[in-house]
Amino acid sequence: MSERCNIAAALPRLAAEAPDRVAMRCPGTHGANGLARYDVALTYAGLDRRSDAIAAGLAKHGVARGQRVVVMVRPSPEFFLLMFALFKAGAVPVLVDPGIDKRALKQCLDEAQPHAFVGIPLAMFARKLLGWARGAKVAVTVGRRWAWGGPTLAQVERDGTGAGPQLADTAPDEVAAILFTSGSTGVPKGVVYRHRHFVAQIDMLRDAFGLQPGGVDLPTFPPFALFDPALGLSSIIPDMDPTRPAKADPRKLHDAIARFGVDQLFGSPALMRVLAEYGQPLPTLRRVTSAGAPVPADVVAKMRGLLPPEAQFWTPYGATECLPVAVIEARELQSTREATEQGAGTCVGRPVPPNEVRIIAITDAPIADWSQAQLLGAEAIGEITVAGPSATDEYFARPQATALAKIRETLPDGRQRIVHRMGDLGRFDAQGRLWFCGRKSHRVRTPLGNLYTEQVEPVFNTHPEVARTALVGVGEGAAQEPVLCVEMAPHLPQYEHERVLAELRRMSEGFVHTARIRHFLVHDGFPVDIRHNAKIGREQLAAWAAKELRWRR
């Protein structure tokens, strides 16, 4: 009999096949040297048995199949036990990035209309103080309980102990989870995941990267650790703040990698830069993946030099709404570096089967039916669209956002499917590789045509005294003025800034598209997204640039 359509369905099988295999280790106490002892561990048998007990306990406390449950718990054994318990129960976990703007956070929680709220004591206090999810009828505290915090998760687990296996017979189209985007390019939206989406992601990731049971993974973005048990991997949860990967301590990361023989690592480009600049070899790693934003070419080159020759460094392309879309390995990516630095965009590789990736003409309007979309050929820049088993089909309680991002397509056999609009611009080259040119909302519309961030910024990022640049548009409609915001290299004296800007102006004359840029402004430190610390907040920079230009005039 095949496994049920549920990300937790693999747990009973793995618990039977390898009960003593460690599913995950988490930081616990710390030694005198400041390094975590990782003395908290869950075996596959323990993860399966305890998540069964929590699922049964939640049912006794009034959490039923299909009900939405806000989860505000730090990466810990309790987080993973709780998530798998909710999947087993057929309940719907609601995850929101804890670092987003507090007003947006309240809006997200109100939109979700949860039946239950599970959180650490701090989240429970904030809920009481700020009125989060007032309509939730069930509250469960992970940790020490306060008077108004409901039962503790430990109590819930005790109440369900002995109830036996728990695994709802979830259908592929049942809602499995609601994952709110970070809001780095607008108001956070709740992406509706169905059970078939999670199962498809596992299959596609396994096939794309050749993942085999028994590997040891260091997932520095906690939600990705949820895939590991279903893939038969052991997770080492790193000793770091997952909302600030750019601030991770490389010494702690190296300690975990060496101590447990980690052979797989997932992290944002910001975390990759931390490891690259630390400069110490990573001899046990065999597979590294980085996503969330394009990985800078210098980081790719440095990381390749720290990895064993046979190791693979993948940079998958995708989004919360659809992952993975395409993948490329670092060796091929490095071969495209010169083209990227001359304005070609960033190569993100070839589509992951069975995805169908197509480019359509740029429009900010909704497209109700695929017959209304204008399909573009090779080399033409347009919006990237994806149809495939992991492409989600709606945002929760956001019909307008759904209409803007989803297209209904009728296939030749009469079946219908949803095509997701990535909101990204790109093109296919003659070899069938996809090139990312920037976010659609970040394109700069000048009287002479559009400028795209990923075709402009890499040209200037080659300057040795520039940390990074950001292209923004000032003005309205198709009459925007392009402005290049420049973040100088650390410790560059301020009196050198004008010299560097003059050199960037000369560089701009070398390409037709960059020659249109007349304004170059130095910014002390770009705003970045919460989740990966890698996506530049260009909306904020554009507002800043507009004020700067008005002041200078």
Domain CATH number, residue 410 = 2.30.38.10
- Taking the C-alpha atoms of residue 383 and residue 427, their distance in angstroms, rounded to an integer, is 8
User: Would residue 56 count as lying in a domain?
Assistant: yes
For 16, residues 6+ apart whose C-beta sits below 8 A from its C-beta are: none
**434 and 461 part of one domain:** no
Last residue of a domain, one of 140, 171, 192: 192
Overall size of the chain counted in residues: 553
**400 and 476 part of one domain:** no
User: Would residue 277 count as lying in a domain?
Assistant: no
**455 and 506 part of one domain:** yes
Last residue of a domain, one of 438, 462, 482: 438
Could you give the number of structural domains in the chain?
3
CB 64 within 8 A of CB 41: no
User: Would residue 314 count as lying in a domain?
Assistant: no
pLDDT at 145: 78
**167 and 71 part of one domain:** yes
Q: Which amino acid is at 38?
A: Y
pLDDT at 170: 97
Domain that holds residue 130: 7-180+187-192
What are the backbone angles phi and psi of residue 168, rounded to the nearest 5°? -65, 145
**480 and 404 part of one domain:** no
pLDDT by 10s per residue, the chain, length 553: 457 899 999 999 999 999 999 999 999 899 999 999 999 999 999 999 999 999 999 999 999 999 999 999 988 899 999 999 999 999 999 998 766 777 788 888 988 999 999 999 999 998 988 888 989 999 999 998 776 678 999 999 999 999 999 999 999 999 999 998 766 656 789 999 999 999 999 999 999 998 888 999 999 887 788 889 889 999 999 999 888 888 999 999 999 999 999 999 999 899 999 999 999 999 999 999 998 878 888 899 999 999 999 999 999 999 999 999 999 999 999 999 999 999 999 999 999 999 999 999 999 999 999 999 999 999 999 999 999 999 999 999 999 999 999 999 999 999 999 999 999 999 999 999 999 999 999 999 999 999 999 999 999 999 999 999 999 999 999 999 999 999 999 999 999 999 999 999 999 999 999 999 999 999 999 998 766 667 899 999 999 999 999 887 6
User: Would residue 322 count as lying in a domain?
Assistant: no
- In 3D, which of 129, 126, 130 has the Cα closest to residue 141? 126
For residue 295, count CB atoms less than 10 angstroms from its CB and return exposed for 0-12, middle for 13-18, buried for 19 or more.
buried
3-state DSSP call for residue 136?
coil
pLDDT at 297: 83
What are the backbone angles phi and psi of residue 365, rounded to the nearest 5°? -90, 155
- Tell how far CA 417 is from the center of its chain: 24
User: Would residue 144 count as lying in a domain?
Assistant: yes
Q: What is the distance in angstroms between the CA of the first residue and the CA of the last residue of the chain?
A: 73
Q: Which amino acid is at 78?
A: E
**460 and 531 part of one domain:** yes
**452 and 434 part of one domain:** no
- Taking the C-alpha atoms of residue 259 and residue 192, their distance in angstroms, rounded to an integer, is 38
Last residue of a domain, one of 192, 227, 260: 192
**493 and 424 part of one domain:** no
CATH number at residue 506: 3.30.300.30
**430 and 458 part of one domain:** no
224 C-beta neighbours (distance < 10 Å), count: 17
70 C-beta neighbours (distance < 10 Å), count: 25
CATH number at residue 133: 3.40.50.980
Give the 3-state secondary structure of 170-221.
CCCCCEEEEEECCCCCCCCCEEEEEHHHHHHHHHHHHHHHCCCCCCEEEECC
**539 and 390 part of one domain:** no
Tokens for 362? 């740029």
- Taking the C-alpha atoms of residue 115 and residue 121, their distance in angstroms, rounded to an integer, is 19
CB 225 within 8 A of CB 80: yes
- Taking the C-alpha atoms of residue 530 and residue 528, their distance in angstroms, rounded to an integer, is 7
Beta strands in 230-355 (DSSP E): 234-236, 264-267, 287-290, 312-314, 317-319, 322-327, 346-351
**505 and 412 part of one domain:** no
pLDDT at 1: 42
User: Would residue 284 count as lying in a domain?
Assistant: no
For 475, residues 6+ apart whose C-beta sits below 8 A from its C-beta are: 481
- Taking the C-alpha atoms of residue 17 and residue 79, their distance in angstroms, rounded to an integer, is 24
**57 and 20 part of one domain:** yes
Tokens for 180? 């709110």
User: Would residue 487 count as lying in a domain?
Assistant: yes
Distances (CA, A) of 224 to 41, 362, 472: 18, 32, 32
- Taking the C-alpha atoms of residue 266 and residue 256, their distance in angstroms, rounded to an integer, is 14
- Taking the C-alpha atoms of residue 414 and residue 420, their distance in angstroms, rounded to an integer, is 19
User: Would residue 484 count as lying in a domain?
Assistant: yes
Locus of tokens 């989740």: 531
